A = this chain, B = another copy of it.
Amino acid sequence: MKPSIPKGTRDFSPVELHKRQYIFGIIRDVYERFGFHPIETPVMENLSTLTGKYGEEGDKLLFKVLNNGDFLSKADPEALAEKDSQALAPSIARRGLRYDLTVPFARYVVMHQNDLTFPFKRYQIQPVWRADRPQKGRYQEFYQCDADAIGSDSLMYEAEYIQIIDEVFSTLGLKVEVKINSRKILAGIAEVSGVSDRMMEMTMAVDKLWKIGWEGVRRELLARDFTTDQIDHIQRYFSVEDVQSLRTIFADSEIGTTGLDEVDEIHGYLEGYELSQELVVDVTLARGLNYYTGCIFEVVSKEVKMGSILGGGRYDDLTGVFGMAGMSGVGISFGVERIFDILEELKRFPDDLDQTLDLLMLALDPESHKVAFKLLTEFRDSGLRTDLYPEPAKMKKQMKYANQTGVSHTLIIGSEEVEKGIYTLKNMKTGDQQKLSAAQIVETLQS
């Protein structure tokens, strides 16, 4: 009888929602000014679109939607007889819930390729679903805020993302470190360390550096049969103070040199642009996803200890898996759930988001209530979010309501007020009262 919601999902109250929309609004505004266009894709995708795109682990975390009607009539009889859930699923569920915004975007590009003009810059702010074990700060239903620019190799886009990141976090009032690196620099280090063919293994180990230190990374590489000599090289190259000191080291590595050139070109675009946040080239930055091929991005808070709050990078082949080759691009994704937690912890949300109503009117008698109802129109037309207690109840009851809702201003209306056209505006926080006309009230509350 007592209702509940699924684990890992959330209701959003008015104040929470205002705070979330504040974050989304800032990101959306910046994305739009930077020439990104919004799209939305359906929550339900065909499982044929989703399956196999997120690795074996990801497939297990997909939410599958049961076919409607007599779904057992088409169930795989063998899987059913063997009670093999995994084998049975495809025959009784052909749709699933979106797992991220990247695969649906790739699907969108392929399906709408004839209507799109490339380069195409899209942004998308929508929820995604993952059957991860719910934890503090980790949900099964959560939002992503992605932007991608596809169909061009220009490093201008990398520079733009740095500007976007800088502007969004500055507008939110947060101090962050913007880390960039290039997969090509990583490939260069692998090459000059003599492990070109094992670059992924190398970067996956180095990716844990901040957690386990060089001692841990060395142990992991040894366990993976890297030689001590190779590991010494790797440690030395990844420990350079300044990325430019890799230039001589990369004298014989074309890909490494290209990576450095690209980082230089990105910095070139930003020459004269005043960044508010710290931008660093961090050669140890690897980012887990192995479809990145060029520049990679990561942002961490400088004020709250937490994982990355933005990730992204350049990829060579977004849509190949759907049969459309050669579509390269570069994208970023804001970790809005974590950004929300940081703003909450630091109390950086603007105060006025706590208010979802500007003015509450309280009437003392039926006649005043009628007048108050007509006054509502004047306030609402001027843009004020206004309400009237729905009946002329006892003042004590109405005041209790006003206090509980936390509204910032009330207006009390009785026969005297009606007669004079002058009303008492009360600031519920300070207790201050002012006697004002309707026009003066609008003026006061709008300022």
Contact = CB atoms under 8 A, between A and B. Distances in A.
A85 B70 contact: yes
A156 interface: yes
A210 interface: no
Nearest to A319: B3
A3 B42 CA distance: 14
A331 to B, nearest CB: 15
A291 interface: no
A380 interface: yes
Interface string A265-279: 000110011000000
A5 B63 contact: no
Contacts of A370: 268-269
Given A84-B72, A390-B152, A404-B117, A18 B41 contact: no
Interface string A258-270: 0000000000110
Interface stretch (A199-207, A247-255, A306-314, A381-389): A381-389
Contact of A141 (B43, B121, B360): B43
Given A34-B387, A72-B88, 4 more contacts: A5-B42, A6-B44, A65-B66, A156-B388
B386 A35 contact: yes
A127 B66 contact: no
Contact of A119 (B21, B156, B390): B390
B390 A37 contact: no
Give the interface SS of chain A, mostly helix, strand, loop or mixed: mixed
Interface string A169-180: 000000000000
B69 A35 contact: no
Given A33-B383, A40-B17, A374-B272, A154 B391 contact: yes
A40 B18 CA distance: 11
A63 B68 contact: yes
Interface stretch (A107-115, A189-197, A419-427): A107-115
Interface in A9-56: 9-14, 17-18, 21, 32-35, 37-46, 48-49
Contact of A387 (B3, B35, B65, B68): B35
Contacts of A94: 6
A43 B42 CA distance: 12
Task: Count chain B CB atoms within 10 A of each CB in A64, A163, A360, A384 and give the residue with the most.
Answer: A64
Of all A-B residue pairs in the complex, the 10 with the closest CB atoms, nearest first, are A35-B387, A154-B390, A9-B42, A14-B37, A117-B404, A68-B131, A12-B40, A64-B66, A33-B380, A3-B107
How many chain copies?
2
A9 B44 CA distance: 8
A340 interface: no
Interface string A109-147: 011100101010110000101010000000011000000
A357 interface: yes
Nearest to A15: B37
Most chain B CB neighbours (cut-off 10 Å) among A5, A83, A322: A5
15 contacts: A3-B322, A5-B111, A12-B40, A14-B39, A33-B385, A35-B357, A35-B388, A37-B357, A38-B356, A60-B69, A64-B65, A70-B86, A119-B390, A154-B391, A273-B377
Nearest to A274: B377
A54 to B, nearest CB: 14
A127 B119 CA distance: 31
A12 B33 CA distance: 20
Contacts of A401: 117
A418 to B, nearest CB: 14
